[in-house]
Amino acid sequence: MLEGQVVIITGSAGGIGRHDAKPFAGEGGGVVVADVKPLDTISGELAAREVDYLAVPTDVRDENAVRNLVDKTLERFGRIDVLVNNAAIVTHFQWGLPHWPRIRDMEKDFWDRVIGTNLGGTFNCTKHVLPTMEAQRSGHVVSTMGGSSSIGGCAYGVSKDAIRSFTRFVANEEREFDVCVVAVSPGAQIATEEAPDEARARMPGPDFVGNRFVLAAQVPMELSGELLNLEDGKLVPSQRR
């Protein structure tokens, strides 16, 4: 169903975003990878698969950078069918890394960087793909969900809870244009290639995510606004509100 479609994946230099690029590439459409980190590794992997791809260095906190990302995508492919909002600053406490400061000890600049990347980046990217999707009267906006109840995880948890609400509100705004807006849980705490060896030995890696984001890019409008979990190979609405 995604043949010939064009997907933008933010935060795709590594981790879940890098993993996601490969199943989307297998669908035969255009893949645009974007990250503030170097994109050499994922670019090499996509080139080896002879995928029609575009790599655009992008800081999702910067609206001008996001505007450039969208412009370059349209110049190259002429359309945008799927946006995966994956760029995020993540706690990674489960890797055994130090906890972030409690709110009473947290610098405002740190708070702003987390919220600006996770929530602000989702806002910027969604805002700038919507005019194209509305004109096409089709499209999927898929945001990676997560959460934290650990001490020190407030900034991350707040950003993800806000993305859940953002998903519901934007879904309502875009329903008349047949643009489907959902959030997707990766299903577990993930140890990416940047995790310590000990963490990667005991935790699932990005491959655990499977094809759930490809499936999310095909869900019907009836599921727009939902947080989706993968159960028995199908995406279903979460009970989490």
Q: What pLDDT, on a 0 to 100 scale, did the predictor assign at position 164? A: 96
The residues annotated with a catalytic role in the active site are 156
Output the pTM of the full model. Answer: 0.92
User: Which candidate, 110, 113, 143, places its Cα nearest to that of 10?
Assistant: 143
Q: In degrees to the nearest 10, what's the CA dihedral of 19, 25, 31, 34? A: 10
In the numeric block, the tokens 């170097």 are attached to 38
Six token digits for residue 58: 């992008």
User: Which candidate, 214, 1, 205, 177, places its Cα nearest to that of 228?
Assistant: 214
Q: Which amino acid is at 72?
A: K
Q: Give the containing element (helix H, strand E) for 6.
A: strand 6-10
Whether 66 and 116 have beta carbons less than 8 Å apart is answered as: no
The helix-helix angle for 40-48 and 15-25 (nearest 10°) equals 20
Taking the C-alpha atoms of residue 153 and residue 50, their distance in angstroms, rounded to an integer, is 40
Q: Which phi and psi angles does 32 have, rounded to 5°?
A: -115, 120
**DSSP bridge partners of 33:** 9, 55
Q: What pLDDT, on a 0 to 100 scale, did the predictor assign at position 208? A: 75
Whether 57 and 35 have beta carbons less than 8 Å apart is answered as: yes
Q: What pLDDT, on a 0 to 100 scale, did the predictor assign at position 146? A: 74
Per-residue pLDDT tens, the chain, 241 aa: give them. Answer: 678 899 999 999 988 899 899 989 887 789 999 999 999 999 999 999 999 999 999 999 999 999 999 999 999 999 999 999 999 887 765 655 667 888 999 999 999 999 999 999 999 999 999 999 999 999 999 999 876 566 767 888 899 999 999 999 999 999 999 999 999 988 667 666 666 666 666 675 667 777 889 999 999 999 999 999 888 889 999 875 5
Angle value at C-alpha 62, between 56 and 68, nearest 5 degrees:
40
Beta-strand pair 6-10/234-237: unpaired
Angle value at C-alpha 15, between 11 and 20, nearest 5 degrees:
75
Q: What pLDDT, on a 0 to 100 scale, did the predictor assign at position 199? A: 67
